[in-house]
Structure 1
Amino acid sequence: MIRLRQYFITGLLVWLPMGVTVWVLLWLVGILDGVFQGVLGAFETMVPPLQPLANQLRHIPGLGVILVAIVIVGTGLFVANMFGQWSLRQWDRLMTRIPVVRSIYSSVKQVSDTLFSGSGHAFSKALLVQYPRRGAWTIAFLTGKPGGEVAAHLGDDFLSIYVPTTPNPTSGFFLIVPRADVVELRMSVDEALKYIISMGVVAPPPTRDSSQPLALPPSTQPVPLPDSVQSPDH
């Protein structure tokens, strides 16, 4: 029975990553197909004579994923030129004038621009912080510096960080902490995510010279840590 259990666990370790990968891909395909089905439904409503064509398109597997991907890439190509950028500004101006839509649209646009901007610092560094209590350490990600009224109250000596939960890093906690309480890690963001999702089982290998100093992005340089918050390795 012990050997049978070992065989079962070994087989499970082989099939589990593949099964989760397939499940995630099917989930993404379902979302894209749902968008495609919604567009087809609106198209049928506006042009009733083309309903037979729309019904035929519904039964083509994977067509929704291909068309949605083509539309996204085509949109990127369109806004890459001056006319496309002008059109995008006009669209943003229109969306920000609609009473209910403007609050949702503006918030989502600000978050997406911050996360996906190549010049931004969101999720650019893996950090080590004490959370949820002093003496308990966890991995967090740098999201930037406080701004607006918060920065006016706290000053420049604070960082904005995101502390993800495990094994699902898409949920977590937003914290503003003194930069003196933060230890920057040499591991990449991808390695840190693997470490979090595996609940500490898959530890990233030391691939860099530990003698080299670490640095946060410009304008977020750390100050020396006090003895009370130094990690065991520092």
Structure 2
Amino acid sequence: MMRLRNYFLTGIVVTAPVAITAYLVWGFIGWVDGWVKPLIPHAYNPDNYLPFTIPGFGLVVAIVLLTLVGFLTANFIGRAVIRLGEYVLGQMPLVRSVYRGLKQIFETVLSGKSNTFKHVGLIEYPRKGVWSIVFLSTDVEGEISDTLMDKAGKMTAVFLPTTPNPTSGFLLYVPKSDIINLSMTVEEGAKLVISAGLVSPEFQARTKALDHTTDPIVKPEQE
């Protein structure tokens, strides 16, 4: 029974990540198809001619259209159209704030010049003596830096993720001196948060391996 139990658990460990990944990918493809396929003209939609649907066709069309939009935006006419559209959106009180915020976020995340979330650190939160993992964003600038410089010195913006969903969390402004930098990558830190501390980075395994190799050799007792 113990051997059967181990086989069963091994099967779960092997198949569960593959099944969950396939489920998420399939769900994403279906979500994109559900948005794009209704916009495709009837004459160009293969689902209207075939006895079965083609999953992922809407995703392919979306990728082609986005690439085409990027190509058109790169020339003079495209930039003029974008400026006109941004001007129109800028006249709408609520919409302009949402648009500018989203545009700045996407430009920051997708640009190669951004240093967003490239480091992992520890801060004392929510009280002294309790430590939390944070993702370091960037040094604080502008009004917040001006306001807090005299009180707390150089500040850093950090993102404190929640468990088990690291996409939600809190934005905190922390003095640089209060942050302990870690050598683990952001991906390893995200795994640690998602698993609630069950999946530790490889650094600990290497440390333990070194500890075992440096254990003193115990000599057998002499007769």
What is the TM-score when the length of structure 1 is the normalising length?
0.73
1:77-156 pair list within 5 angstroms: 77-155=71-149
Quote the offset at 1:63 in angstroms. Answer: 1.0
Q: Kindly provide the amino acid, as one letter, of the partner of residue 193 in structure 1.
A: A
Q: In the TM superposition, what whole-angstrom CA distance separates every residue of 1:50-82 from its partner, at most 9, and x where no partner exists?
A: x56657279433210110111122223333445
Q: Kindly provide the amino acid, as one letter, of the partner of residue 56 in structure 1.
A: N
CA distance in 2, matches of 1:24, 1:106: 30
Query: Which of the residues 194, 197, 208 maps onto 1:197?
Result: 194
What is the aligned partner in structure 2 of residue 222 from structure 1? Answer: none
CA distance in 2, matches of 1:93, 1:185: 44
Quote the offset at 1:179 in angstroms. Answer: 0.8
Q: Are the aligned partners of 1:127 and 1:141 in contact in 2 as well (CA < 8 Å)?
A: yes
Which protein has the bigger helix share? Answer: 2
The question of 1:5 aligning with 2:5 is answered yes
Q: In the TM superposition, what whole-angstrom CA distance separates every residue of 1:58-114 from its partner, at most 9, and x where no partner exists?
A: 943321011011112222333344543443333322222233321221221122222
Quote the offset at 1:128 in angstroms. Answer: 1.7
Q: Kindly provide the amino acid, as one letter, of the partner of residue 75 in structure 1.
A: V
The question of 1:56 aligning with 2:48 is answered yes
CA distance in 2, matches of 1:128, 1:83: 48
Change in CA separation of 1:114 and 1:53 when aligned onto 2, cut-off 3 Å: closer
- Identity across matched positions, percent: 35
Q: In the TM superposition, what whole-angstrom CA distance separates every residue of 1:13-49 from its partner, at most 9, and x where no partner exists?
A: 0111001101210221122112203524xx6xxxxxx
What is the TM-score when the length of structure 2 is the normalising length?
0.76
Unaligned runs of 5+ in 1: 44-50, 208-234
Q: Over aligned residue pairs, what C-alpha RMSD do you find?
A: 2.6
Unaligned runs of 5+ in 2: 205-223
CA distance in 1, matches of 2:104, 2:111: 10
Change in CA separation of 1:206 and 1:53 when aligned onto 2, cut-off 3 Å: closer
